[in-house]
Amino acid sequence: MRGMIATLAKRVSGAALAGLMMAGAATAQEDTIKVGILHSLSGTMAISETTLKDVMLMLVEQQNAKGGLLGKKLEAVVVDPASDWPLFAEKARELISVNGVSAVFGCWTSVSRKSVLPVFEELNSILFYPVQYEGEESQRNVFYTGAAPNQQAIPAVDYLMNEEGVERWVLAGTDYVYPRTTNKILEAYLESKGVAAEDIMINYTPFGHSDWQTIVSDIKTFGSAGKKTAVVSTINGDANVPFYKELGNQGVKAEDIPVVAFSVGEEELAGLDTAPLVGHLTAWNYFQSVDTPENAEFIAAWKEFTKNPDRVTNDPMEAHYIGFNMWVKAVEKAGTTDSDAVIDAMIGVSVPNLTGGYSAMMPNHHITKPVLIGEIQADGQMETVWETTGLVVGDEWSDYLPDSKDLIADWRAPMSCGNFNVATGKCGGKGVN
C-alpha cells in the first residue's frame, strides 16, 4: 500500500515537473511583456480593489486585441496582497524580481503605497497608483493617476462656499493618514478664507464604524447655529453605508445640511438605497454618468467583460485606464520597457480621458484632470452639477501647509527631485525621498 502511494506521488510530481517545464518553454517562446497587478482580492479592501484587478485584466486584453505592445503580447500577473500592508511589499518584490514585470498597477490605501515605496525604489520599477490621496509625496518610481487634494477636496469646498453659501464646516473622517492630512489641508485652507475656528468641527471615527447615531445628532446640533452648514466627509470604505443610512433615517436632508464625500463612488453606493440621499454631493474626476462617446464605449466594454449588466464604473477605474494608456504610449515612445527609459518618456505623455479631454503626465508625476462635483441620484449614479472649466494640474505638495508650501517636485533631467525647496534652493526637505 505504502509503496503504491509512493509511486503515485513520484508519478504525480514527475508529471507536474514536466508540466512546469513545458509551461516555462511556452512562455519563453512567446516572450511576453508582463504587467503586475497588485490589488487585494481578499480581506477588508477586497471590496474596492477587486474591481481594479478586473479592469486591468480588461485593459490588457484590449491591448492584446489591438496587437500587443512592441510586437509582443502583454501578460497580466495577478497577486493577492490580502489587505495586509507588509504583504504588499513582499508581493511587490515577488512581482518585480520573480515574475519580472515591467510595470505594476496597484495599491489603494495610502499605507499600502507607503509600504511598497522602498521596494520600487530599490528594484527600480514602476508603480501606477490610481486612487485619490492626501498628496505630500512624489517619488521617482511612482506615477499618481488619482487626484491630489487640489484636484478634489479644495474645489469641492470652493463649490460649497460659493454655490451653497456654506459658512460652518464639519470635517468628518476615518482615523488614518488620508483623512487626517486632507483635513489638515482643508482646515488651513478654510482659515485662509476667513472661516473662524469655532465654525469648524473635526471628527474622527475608527475603520468600519457602524454606530453613527451620536455623530449624526452632533452634526445636527452643530448645524443649528443659524449658519448654513455642510459636512465634508473623508469617511472611508464600509463605514459609509451605515453613515448614510443614519443620515437618511434621522432626516438630514441635502437641502439643509449637504454632505460632500471624497471616498464614495458608484461602487460604494451600489449597496445602498439612495432615495433618501438624493442631493448629497461627491467630488471626483470621473462619473459613470458622464456623457461622452469614450465613456459610453468604456462602460459597454466593461459590462461585456464582466458579463454583468449591473456592474458600475468609478473614478479609480478611469485612473487605471489613463495610467495604462500612458504607460503603453511611453513604452512605444521609448521603444523599450526598461524602467529608466520609460520613466523619462512618461513625462509629457498625453492620452484621452473618459470625460472628453486629454490628461497629461506632469513633471511631478501627477496628471491633469477635470474636477467634477456630482449630486447623488435615486438610481445610485451621480449627476454632474459643476465642473472646472479646464483641467487641473495635480499639486503634490500642498500650498496650504507650512511644511510643504515651499516644496515642488520635478523629475526632469537637471533637477530630478521629488521635494525641491524653492526657498532654500536645495533638493531635500520633508518627505520620503
Partner 1 sequence: MTVLRVLFVLVGLALSGAASAQVDDEAIRATIARFADSKNFRETEEIVRDLAATGDVRVERPLSALSDGNLSFRKSDRQVFIAPERGQTATLFDPLTGEAAGEAPKGDFTKVKVNNSLRRTIRDVISGLTLASPDPVVRLAAARTMFIAPDAANLEALDAAIAAETVTSVKISLEAARASTILVSDAPDAAKFDAIALLGQRGDRETLSLLTGFAARSQGDLQAAAQRAIDTIGKSLALWDIGQNIWYGISLGSVLLLAAIGLAITFGVMGVINMAHGEMVMIGAYTTFVVQSVIRSSFPGLFDWSLTIALPLAFLVAGAVGLALERGVIRFLYGRPLETLLATWGVSLILQQAVRTIFGPTNQEVGNPSWMSGGFQIGQLALTWNRLWIVVFALAVFGLLLYIFKRTAWGLQMRAVTANRRMASSMGIRTPWVDAFTFALGSGIAGIAGVALSQIDNVSPNLGQGYIIDSFMVVVFGGVGNLWGTLVGAFSLGIVNKFLEPYAGAVLGKILVLVLIILFIQKRPRGLFALKGRSVEA
Binder of partner 1 out of 205, 234, 282, 355 (CB under 8 A): 205
Q: Which residue number, 255 or 425, has a Cβ lying nearer to partner 1?
A: 255
Q: CB of 106: closest distance to partner 1 in angstroms?
A: 16
Closest distance between partner 1 and the C-beta of residue 268, in Å? Answer: 7
Of 12-20, 40-48, 130-138, 348-356, the window that binds partner 1 (rule: CB under 8 A) is 40-48
Radius of gyration of the chain (CA): 23
Q: With contact defined as beta carbons under 8 Å apart, do 130 and 59 qualify?
A: no
Give CA–CA dist 311/212, Å, rounded. Answer: 29
Helix, strand and coil in the chain, % to nearest 5? 40, 20, 40
The type of residue at 392 is V
Helical packing angle, 339-346 and 315-334, nearest 10°? 110
Of 133-141, 204-212, 360-368, 392-400: span binding partner 1 (CB under 8 A): 204-212
**Contact call for residues 223 and 257 (beta carbons, < 8 A):** yes
Least distance in Å: CB of 301 to partner 1?
19
Instruction: Kindly state the number of chain residues that form the binding site for partner 1, as judged by CB under 8 A.
Output: 59
Per-residue b or e along 271-304, where b marks 16 or more CB atoms closer than 10 Å to that residue's CB: ebebebbeebbbbbbbbbbbeeebbeebbebbee
Closer to partner 1 at the Cβ: 94 or 268? Answer: 268
| 223-282: contacts with partner 1 (CB under 8 A) | 223-227, 238, 241-242, 245-246, 248-251, 254-256, 258, 267-268, 270-273, 276, 278-279, 281
Distance between terminal CA atoms of the chain?
Answer: 62
Closest CB to partner 1 among 56 and 343? 56
| Of the residues 30, 31, 122, 163, which one makes contact with partner 1 according to CB under 8 A | 163
Q: Which residues are CB-contacts of 333 (< 8 A; sequence separation ≥ 6)?
A: 345, 349
Residue 282 or 337 having the CB closest to partner 1: 282
SS3 string, 191-212, reads: HHCCCCHHHEEEEEECCCCCCC
CA distances (Å), origin 130, targets 39, 134, 180, 318: 11, 13, 20, 8
Report the nearest approach of partner 1 to the CB of residue 185 (Å).
21
- Chain residues binding partner 1 by CB under 8 A are 41-42, 44, 46-47, 50-51, 163-164, 175, 203-206, 208-211, 213-215, 217-218, 220-221, 223-227, 238, 241-242, 245-246, 248-251, 254-256, 258, 267-268, 270-273, 276, 278-279, 281, 375, 377-379, 383, 385
